[in-house]
Amino acid sequence: MNYRKLGKTNLMVSEIGFGGEWLERHPYEQSVELIKYASSKGINILDCWMADPKSRSIIGDGIKGNRENWFIQGHIGSTWKDGQYNRTRDMNYVVPAFEDLLERLQTDYIDLGMIHFVDSEEEWDQIQNSDFLKFIFEQKEKGTVKHIGMSSHNPKVAIKAALTDYIEMILFSINPAFDMLPPSEDINTLFADKFDENLKGIDPERALFYKTCEENNVGITVMKGYAGGRLFDASRSPFGTALTPVQCIHYALTRPAAASIVCGYDTKEQIDEALLYETAAEEEKDYASVIASAPLHSYKGQCTYCGHCKPCPVNIDIAMVNKYYDLAVMQNTVPDSIKSHYELLEHHASECIDCKACESRCPFEVAISQRMKKSAKLFGM
């Protein structure tokens, strides 16, 4: 298992994480064993947005005796009312739900205290200076919450969060289909039956979200990386063709600031299927060829950092150069953080010999040689 630093938290989280939302579907002991199995395979981050008692108790027994090896994303504002999930900021429900989370997980702290599910800009603004946020700050001060995060599906809201001085990481919905869509406060737009055929490449607001997180050292954990399994079915995929779990995982983990993808599992076999990513060959990770040859939509001319351009005869990491270039040109001056990351690369764009072998391999017909020239000029090396 590979591990990545999760932004400002400095936690080293497994690239493949555990999304716990399906635990209640199965017999109790079977789900407990699933969590233990994941841990034995090196998975160390688990997302618990669920408020139902069964899911929380399963997680508690699943991590029992092994708590120190897990990083828990525990959601604050996800409550259980009249036998149903309820998202609320009402402190009469928030406080008991958080206390219940700690009790059922059999722990006295949550590693990542998540402001649960904010997709509305109006709600984000309302949360500021609220009793709800004050409560989260109090838990951080007490050590009951080690780090503060947030979950969202709306890049406009997520950008606002990433620009604060207290949000350290964000749980965000990422896959190649969602990345084409413009921001929305309605999560249902992500699962529309059809996407507009005029959609081309990554939406600018989503690209800005990635840039903002990278620049401000705000880590990203990924949810909905499979789009609910829709991307595995050519008849339901907006691309008109199917992707594999490994390809979806690779797409998510090549986004700037992304540290881990939390996948949902019903079985040990599904965990093993996700873990194949860790040993997969480059051709197995290749989402780019699938998207580039798909009958619907297009990323043409846009670098997706897929790595198809390798190998470079002078060993330039072309995908990383392109990533830093894209992050840098989104504002008037090159951020010091991005410039520093670029300078740390072993080889720089100025070393390009203009052979254009990379361009012959690029599935999206990116003018790589020209981008190397622009990068060398922008970064001065």
pTM of the model: 0.89
φ and ψ of 136, to 5 deg: -65, -40
Q: Is the confidence at residue 69, as pLDDT, over 90?
A: yes
Strands (E), 201-343: 219-223, 258-264
State the amino acid at position 94 in one-letter form. V
What is the H or E stretch that residue 169 is in? Answer: strand 169-173
Q: Is 243 left (phi over 0), alpha (psi -120 to 50) or beta?
A: beta
Tens digit of each residue's pLDDT (9 = 90 or more) over 17-64? 999 888 998 999 999 999 999 999 999 999 999 999 999 999 999 999
Q: Give me the pLDDT at residue 353, please.
A: 93
* Cβ–Cβ < 8 Å for 251, 291: no
- CA-nearest of 279, 199, 204 to 238 is 199
Higher pLDDT, 134 or 197: 134
Tens digit of each residue's pLDDT (9 = 90 or more) over 289-338? 888 888 877 788 888 888 889 899 999 999 989 988 888 887 778 888 88
Q: Give me the pLDDT at residue 85, please.
A: 92
Instruction: Compute the chain's Rg from CA coordinates.
Output: 21
Q: Is the confidence at residue 216, as pLDDT, over 90?
A: yes
Q: Give me the pLDDT at residue 10, please.
A: 96
* Cβ–Cβ < 8 Å for 381, 343: yes
Distance, CA of 49 to CA of 85 (rounded, Å): 10
Q: Which of 120-124, 148-152, 181-185 has the lowest mean pLDDT?
A: 181-185
Q: Is the confidence at residue 267, as pLDDT, over 90?
A: yes
Q: Map tokens 């983990």 to a residue.
A: 253
Tens digit of each residue's pLDDT (9 = 90 or more) over 358-373? 999 998 889 999 999 9
Q: Give me the pLDDT at residue 308, please.
A: 86
pLDDT band at 182 (very low <50, low <70, confident <90, very high): confident
Q: What is the DSSP string of 225-249?
A: TTGGGGGG-TTTSTTSS---HHHHH
CA distances from 348 to 144, 256, 321, 374 (A): 44, 19, 7, 12
* Cβ–Cβ < 8 Å for 42, 2: no
User: Alpha carbon 97 to chain centroid distance?
Assistant: 25
User: Alpha carbon 140 to chain centroid distance?
Assistant: 23
Q: Give me the pLDDT at residue 200, please.
A: 76
Q: Which of 146-160, 268-282, 354-368 has the lowest mean pLDDT?
A: 354-368
Return the CATH number of 3-283, one of 3.40.47.10, 3.60.21.10, 3.40.250.10, 3.20.20.100. Answer: 3.20.20.100
pLDDT band at 149 (very low <50, low <70, confident <90, very high): very high
Strands 12-14 and 3-5, sheet pairing = antiparallel
